[in-house]
Amino acid sequence: MNDEPRRAWVAQALQRIEADARRSADTHLIPLALPEAPGVTLYLKDESTHPSGSLKHRLARSLFLYGLCNGLIGPGTTIVEASSGSTAISEAYFARLLGLPFVAVVPQGTAPRKLEEIAFQGGECVEVPAPQVYAEAEALAATRGGHYMDQFTHAERATDWRGNNNIAESLFNQLQLEPQPLPRWIVVGAGTGGTSATIGRYIRYRRAALATTRLAVVDPERSVFFDAFVQRRRDLAGSERGRIEGIGRPRVEPSFVPTVIDRMLRVPDAMSFAAALDLSARLGRRVGPSTGTNFAGALHLAREMAARGEPGSIVTLICDAGERYHDTLFAPGWLAAQGLDLDSGIEDSAG
């Protein structure tokens, strides 16, 4: 069979993705002084400025390159993903760039604003009961002769953790002329686990960082990652749907790599929401709830460093913009109506 036309299409698709990357500037690193932790500087890696609005722009690009270079995506391939949020929006962006149909299999009850954003990028949404999203996405890809991107399995292997301007290489390069170019902590959450896996591996790969920099992963309520890390188990399962969109999972996802994580912090949801509002006020613009979880974890570690009289820098992520949560976190009365426990504190794997 003559596969020349297909190969030519793949070559053009790869060029389009690279051209898109060249048109995009790298995301900013914003320093923030912390009055509550003198001597510690927090840096915020602002992933909300990507063309598709979140840290998932990087993952979506990697998953498309992975699919194209493994011969899994070709002309007319329907792209399917199990995601209700950031990943689906970013994958729909790249599918449109390549002129491919995109279907997001989303859990019933997904925020209308997220469905609108997927549709805005040209994607179709299929709503199913939450526990069935993985199986339904796989089945739908099979019936349509498409490709199931499966972010939860492929995030850790599709992302180039050695370089290629991954999120870790980018932030270390941006810190080089800062007073403390090697951060003491990098703090991120986990949904697929791909971001934390990439950062944890890169810290080791960039030998200079290995001595100084540690990776802390924050986890919200209703997620199994913290317990899986502490108990060194992968068979844990939860039932309740998380409140902090994008992070926390009811199962230990294949892309969650605990061996590159140095410490985990379980952050109560009330604290995540409050921290997102606090950081939004400090920055003068709105950030999303999972950024609040990051900020709460970073403050916990900054206070610990300040209490020890240990100067240094900490890096965390702005994962997406607050605009996506106008109907929830930033809607008057929404937070109060959640009936959250406002008293519980952070659980720390370091005891």
Ligand X SMILES: Cc1ncc(COP(=O)(O)O)c(C=O)c1O
How many CB atoms within 10 Å of residue 220? 28
Mark the segment that binds ligand X (CB under 6 A) among 104-112, 131-139, 241-249, 305-313: 241-249
Q: Which amino acid is at 318?
A: I
Tokens of 53: 């609005």
User: C-beta of 343: minimal distance to ligand X in Å?
Assistant: 25
How many helices and strands, by DSSP H and E, does the chain display?
13, 11
Q: Which of 192, 223, 313, 316 binds ligand X (CB under 6 A)?
A: 192
Confirm or reject binding of residue 48 to ligand X (CB under 6 A): no
Confirm or reject binding of residue 84 to ligand X (CB under 6 A): no
CB 172 within 8 A of CB 199: no
Mark the segment that binds ligand X (CB under 6 A) among 11-19, 79-87, 178-186, 337-345: 79-87
Confirm or reject binding of residue 110 to ligand X (CB under 6 A): no
Separation of CA 179 from chain center: 28
Q: Which of 53, 67, 191, 258 binds ligand X (CB under 6 A)?
A: 191
Question: In angstroms, rounded to a whole number, what is the distance separating the alpha carbons of residues 294 and 42?
Answer: 11
Mark the segment that binds ligand X (CB under 6 A) among 15-23, 53-61, 137-145, 259-267: 53-61
- DSSP state at residue 113: H
Question: In angstroms, rounded to a whole number, what is the distance separating the alpha carbons of residues 253 and 195?
Answer: 13
Mark the segment that binds ligand X (CB under 6 A) among 92-100, 174-182, 245-253, 263-271: 245-253
User: C-beta of 204: minimal distance to ligand X in Å?
Assistant: 18
Residue with tokens 């965390």: 316
User: C-beta of 67: minimal distance to ligand X in Å?
Assistant: 17
Nearer to ligand X, 77 or 159 (CB): 159
Nearer to ligand X, 37 or 168 (CB): 168
Q: Which of 77, 86, 90, 272 binds ligand X (CB under 6 A)?
A: 86
Confirm or reject binding of residue 272 to ligand X (CB under 6 A): no
Confirm or reject binding of residue 320 to ligand X (CB under 6 A): yes
User: Taking CB under 6 A as the criterion, which residues in 275-314 touch ligand X?
Assistant: 288, 290
Phi, then psi, of 314 in degrees rounded to 5: -130, 140
Nearer to ligand X, 14 or 130 (CB): 130
Confirm or reject binding of residue 193 to ligand X (CB under 6 A): yes
Nearer to ligand X, 67 or 248 (CB): 248
Distances in Å between the Cα of 310 and the Cα atoms of 93, 162, 302 are: 43, 30, 9
CB 106 within 8 A of CB 84: yes
User: C-beta of 244: minimal distance to ligand X in Å?
Assistant: 8
Distances in Å between the Cα of 334 and the Cα atoms of 11, 141, 325, 337, 340 are: 48, 37, 11, 5, 11
Q: Which of 195, 223, 272, 280 binds ligand X (CB under 6 A)?
A: 195
The torsion angle over the Cα atoms of residues 299, 303, 214 and 294, rounded to 10 degrees, is -10
Confirm or reject binding of residue 115 to ligand X (CB under 6 A): no
Please count the residues of this chain forming the interface with ligand X, following the rule CB under 6 A: 22
Q: Which amino acid is at 290?
A: S
Q: Which of 27, 54, 280, 313 binds ligand X (CB under 6 A)?
A: 54
Beta strands 40-46 and 29-33, pairing class: antiparallel
Please calculate the CA angle 152-28-326 and round it to the nearest 5 degrees. 65
User: C-beta of 58: minimal distance to ligand X in Å?
Assistant: 9
* Contacts with 335 (C-beta within 8 Å, 6 or more apart), sequence order: 273, 277, 329
Nearer to ligand X, 305 or 321 (CB): 321
Residues forming contacts to ligand X in the complex (CB under 6 A) are 54-56, 85-87, 155, 189-196, 245-247, 288, 290, 319-320
